[in-house]
Amino acid sequence: MRRGWLVNLALVSLFVLAIFSSVLSFPSKWRLFELKYGYRTSCNACHINGGGTENNDYGEGFHHQGENLAALAALENLDSDQDGFSNIEEIKAKSNPGDPRSTPKSPGNFRSQQEAEFVPKKLLEKLFTVPVTFQISYATLDSGRAQEFQKQVGLKLTEDERVPTFYQVYSTGSPLEKIGTVLLFFEMENHKHLMGGVACDTTGKITKLAVFKQQVKKGLPLADFTKQFLGKNAKSEFKIGQDLKAIPEFTTFSQKVADYAKKSVYLISQFGLKS
């Protein structure tokens, strides 16, 4: 009996680790580093062997501090990889703060690995019913552009949304035909995760909204709720109680998802479709 319980616990732990690894592997987390320090690093700054693999000590610290710009600042004076140099010394020298083999005196070529960008295919493929392939494009909203965007949309951008990663979607076959653009959204609040994605066609209309993970309540009736978003675009309204029906007894959560959907279609229409 005890053995079975331990096996179940191990499986749950592996599942949670996989989810957390996927969150940290999203390029927006990688690009927060660029937003703060002015250059692109590689996934190996936080992972042992690229995006989607186990976190190194710097990545673990980034996760536990909140996975945001403040988390990066909180780690600066530490020496995560115990190589005798603080993280900020390594960052300024463009060496890897998560690998003791990379130091300011000998940074190595770890940044060359940034070309092998992590694409969370298993999540993205849930947004489509046909075989698809993906290419990545980016946008960066500095403070001025972010303020202008927020005024237009009427919602505050998260740090991740200031460095959106767009997944350009193509049908498989020859030649490749573009069928849309995807933007993923996620947050960690009080160590609770919300993760989802918005897929739009080539005109900017939503073809599917999905919530991959939420920790509000197990078994929420998400399918009927998310169907309401089909066909909406940047000109649509996303107000719960007026334009969309809330999940019963979860109005606040419903509006949170609707706000992510609204920001996503605006970001896609303004920056993703042009990519």
Choice between 78 and 160, residue whose per-residue pLDDT is larger: 78
Q: Which of 115, 148, 166 is the last residue of a domain?
A: 115
Long-range contacts of 16-22 (CB under 8 A, 24+ apart): 17/54, 19/193, 19/195, 19/213, 20/55, 20/63, 21/47, 21/52, 21/53, 21/54, 21/55, 22/52, 22/120, 22/123, 22/195
**Residue 82's pLDDT band (boundaries 50, 70, 90)?**
very high
pLDDT of residue 174: 78
CB burial string 113-141: b at 16+ within 10 A, e below: bbeebbbbeebbeebbeeebbbeeebbeb
Q: Is the pLDDT assigned to residue 265 strictly greater than 60?
A: yes
Where residue 251 falls among pLDDT bands split at 50, 70, 90? very high
At residue 178, what are phi and psi to the nearest 5 degrees? -70, 130
Task: Check pLDDT > 60 for residue 23.
Answer: no
pLDDT digits 0-9 by tens, 45-64? 888 887 778 899 999 999 88
For residues 23 and 129, membership in a common domain is answered with no
Q: Are residues 104 and 236 in the same domain?
A: no
10 exposure class (CB count in 10 Å sphere: 0-12, 13-18, 19+) = exposed
Q: Which domain holds residue 213?
A: 121-272
Q: At what angle do helices 27-37 and 2-25 cross, to 10 degrees?
A: 50
Total-model pTM: 0.76
Pair 145, 232 in one domain: yes
Same structural domain, 127 and 93: no
Residues 132, 227 share a domain:
yes
Of all residues in the chain, the percent with pLDDT exceeding 70 is: 87
Q: At what angle do helices 251-267 and 143-153 cross, to 10 degrees?
A: 120
Distance CA 46, CA 98 (A): 6
The better pLDDT of the pair 141, 117 is held by 141
Whole-number pLDDT of residue 26: 55
Same domain? For 57 and 74 the reply is yes
Q: Which whole number is the average pLDDT over 156-161?
A: 92
Same domain, 106 and 11: yes
Check residue 175 and give its pLDDT.
81
Q: How far is CA 98 from CA 5, 56, 160, 241, in A?
A: 34, 6, 22, 47
Predicted local distance difference test score (pLDDT) of residue 115:
46
Residue 12 predicted with pLDDT over 90:
no
Q: How many CB atoms lie within 10 A of CB 77?
A: 10
Residues 105 and 127 in one domain: no
- 204-226 confidence digits (pLDDT tens): 999 999 999 999 999 999 999 99
Contact (Cβ atoms closer than 8 angstroms) between residue 50 and residue 44:
yes
Residues 190 and 111 placed together within one structural domain of the fold: no
Q: In what order do the strands lie in the sheet with 206-214?
A: 132-138, 165-171, 177-189, 192-200, 206-214
Q: pLDDT at position 10, please? A: 44
pLDDT of res. 83? 95
- Residue 208: strand pairing partners: 199
Q: Please tell me the distance from the alpha carbon of residue 234 to that of residue 187, in angstroms, as a whole number.
A: 22
Identify the weakest region by mean pLDDT among 3-7, 48-52, 53-57, 66-70. Answer: 3-7
Q: What is the DSSP letter of 272?
A: I
Encoded tokens for 163: 């460095």
Q: What is the pLDDT of residue 13?
A: 40
Instruction: State residue 30's pLDDT score.
Output: 76
Total domains in the fold of the chain: 2
Same domain, 160 and 263: yes
Q: What is the average pLDDT across 79-105?
A: 95
The pLDDT confidence band at residue 113, using thresholds 50, 70 and 90, is low
Indicate if 139 and 265 belong to the same structural domain: yes
pLDDT at 24: 41
Domain boundary among 98, 115, 132: 115
Are 115 and 105 in contact by the 8 Å Cβ rule? The answer is no
194 with 222, same domain: the answer is yes
Name the strand (E) or helix (H) holding 186: strand 177-189
Last residue within a domain, chosen from 86, 115, 144: 115
Average pLDDT score over residue span 195-201: 96
Query: Considering Cα of 163, then 196, then 237, then 249, what sign does the dihedral take?
Result: negative
